Structure formats: structure tokens, C-alpha cells
Amino acid sequence: MGIGMNYVGVDLAGSPSRKTGICIVNERLTTDCSIHYSDAEIYNAVRKSKAKVVAIDAPLALPGGRHCLEEHCRGRNHFRACDRVLMRMRIKFFPITIGPMRSLTARGIRLRNSLEQRRIEVIETYPGASQDLLGLPRKQHDLERLRKGLVKMGCSGDVVTRNLTGDELDAVSCALVARDYAKGIYTAIGDPHEIMMILPRF
């Protein structure tokens, strides 16, 4: 994109058969969005962006005391410290160890490990929470109003010129968190011994 540092947001799907939205945003909030499927496609899109910070919408760590995602796993805690903060904030989310969240969590951890091996900083975020905090609708409630809200925040590029999917708009929300995180303008919730979830400053 060519203007200063790039930041990446990834709205990760739990399965390679479903759409993963990716957004690259630069310092001027010019957005470049795309859809990918396989782990290799996602990894290569992030690598080619040359971003140093990537914000992923997926659980990237297990709850403390838990060593796997199976029901028989020793330590059956379903919630991490950051999840409990979301509950106190009355922000809706799905526990990471139920239903399709298990495959999403496993995939998120794999992607995090792959990117960190290339010295790319990876943070966990949650666009639904970010949108709640910023007064934006979630994608399932009003896709067009979400898009217009992102434009009002200063985003340009694909957000203005293309008819983006909900996955791509969530990726835009993630990318904005990555940018703010790099600038030190953010809120971190949770326990660093598990993982900190990064959200807009509030």
C-alpha cells in the first residue's frame, strides 16, 4: 500500500472451507480487503503485507490450567480471564471450548505460532466487542451501517469503493485495533499468563 507502516486484521474462520476476511490498513486508514480460505493463503497474505502487528479475531490461547480442547482434558475451565471481563461488561461472546469454537481456537493458535516464528507480533481481538464499545452495529445487525461507521472513523479504500462482506468489515475493525495497539492507544483485558485481549481504548 506504500504509505508508512501496514497493519493487518484477520477475521478468522474455523474451517478452511469458510471465508476468512483479511484487511490491510496503513497510517492513512486506507483499507485493502480480501477473502482467503486455506491456512497457507492466510499466512501468505499476512506475510506479503509486511505488517509487524496482526490482530486476529479468534481465541489464541487456552484458559489457564487447560491443556487441550477436549472434554476429557484435565482442567475443564471454559473461560479465560479476558472472557470473564467480557461477561462483566455484558458483551456477548461464545466460550472457546464449545461447538465450532474449538476448531476456531485450534486454528487461531496454529496461525499465531506460525506468524510469531517470523517475528510478527500477533494480538487477539474481538471485533464484536470493539464495535459495541465504539457504538457501531455488529455485522449481523446492520452491515451497511457498520460500513458507514468505519468510513466516518476515517477509513477509505475498499471500505468506500467495494461492496465488502461482513467478514471483511470485521477484519477492518481488527486492523484498526492493530494500528491503535502499535501506537499504544488501546485497552488490554485478561491475564497475561493466558493472553490479553486487545480492544479500543475506553
Residue 68 has pLDDT above 70, yes or no: no
149-160: average pLDDT = 98
Contact 135, 142 (CB under 8 A): no
Quote the mean pLDDT of the chain: 93
Nearest to 60 by CA among 122, 131, 129, 128: 122
Let me know if residue 2 belongs to a domain: no
Let me know if residue 200 belongs to a domain: no
For residue 82, CA distances in Å to 59, 70, 88, 145, 156 come to 10, 21, 10, 28, 31
pTM, two decimal places = 0.93
Residue with the larger pLDDT of the pair 76 and 126: 126
Let me know if residue 30 belongs to a domain: yes
The pLDDT of residue 202: 87
180-200: average pLDDT = 97
Q: Which residues pair with 188 in a beta bridge?
A: 198
Let me know if residue 140 belongs to a domain: yes
Neighbours of 87 (CB within 10 A): 12
- CATH of residue 113's domain is 3.30.420.10
How many folded domains does the chain comprise?
Answer: 1
Q: Which domain holds residue 47?
A: 7-58+96-185
Let me know if residue 158 belongs to a domain: yes
Let me know if residue 73 belongs to a domain: no
Let me know if residue 122 belongs to a domain: yes
Let me know if residue 26 belongs to a domain: yes
The pLDDT of residue 63: 84
pLDDT (tens digit, 9 = 90+) per residue, 26-66?
999 999 999 999 999 999 999 999 999 999 999 999 887 66
pLDDT (tens digit, 9 = 90+) per residue, 82-115?
999 999 999 999 888 777 888 999 999 999 999 9
Name the one residue in this structure whose C-alpha cell is 471500505: 159
For residue 119, CA distances in Å to 13, 31, 39 come to 23, 23, 18
